[in-house]
Structure 1
Amino acid sequence: MSHTNKHKDKLLARVRRLKGQIEAVERSLESDASCGEVLNLVASIRGAVTGLTGELIEDHIREHVSNPQTDPDQARAQGATELIDAIRTYLK
């Protein structure tokens, strides 16, 4: 079973929140909201997409590369931990 199937409900909830945020941008543009308001909405979408991307990448590493909590190969587990930490830092 894929990690996206394991966490399907949680991932779908995040995607649905993103959909709502995108719809809020659409409504703001239709109602001639200020550019500052639209920019703030778009920035929040970017943050949400970045968070979702980070979660998917981390889960992918843990499922398909190495799960640091269960991998008996200490060097590989350490490498996976370092990669996950680097990705988290990069996506901030």
Structure 2
Amino acid sequence: MHTIRDKERLLARVRRIRGQVEAIERALETEAGCETVMHQIAGVRGAMAGLMAEVIDDHIQTHLVDPRKHPGALDLAAAEELMAVIRTYLK
């Protein structure tokens, strides 16, 4: 499974996201301005979207276009087009 193979890299991303969420908590506790909090929330949303895009991309590459594992699977160009749409959607 690709999430196990990339476990450390994915966990590092999750830990960075945790740090961003904790920063939002601190901002709220210290009554930071709305603009500051909204920017931090937007950053977390972007980080989560990036994590999701990475996992989806790897899933497509691993499970849908690997001809050794899945003869007749989607071709690489189709997978790249799909990922471009997903990345745009997740932004």
Aligned equivalents of 2:82, 2:33: Cα separation in 1: 40
Identity %: 49
Cross-structure match for 2:45: 46
RMSD: 2.1
Stretches of structure 1 that go unaligned for 5 or more consecutive residues are none
Aligned equivalents of 2:87, 2:60: Cα separation in 1: 12
Aligned equivalents of 1:44, 1:22: Cα separation in 2: 9
Whether 2:35 is the aligned partner of 1:32: answer no
Aligned length in residues: 89
Stretches of structure 2 that go unaligned for 5 or more consecutive residues are none
Cross-structure match for 1:12: 11
Aligned equivalents of 2:43, 2:86: Cα separation in 1: 20
Cross-structure match for 1:58: 57
Residues 20-67 of structure 1, C-alpha deviations (whole Å, 9 max, x = no match)? 000011111111111111111101001101110100110010111114
Spell out structure 1 runs of 4+ moving beyond 3 A: 71-75
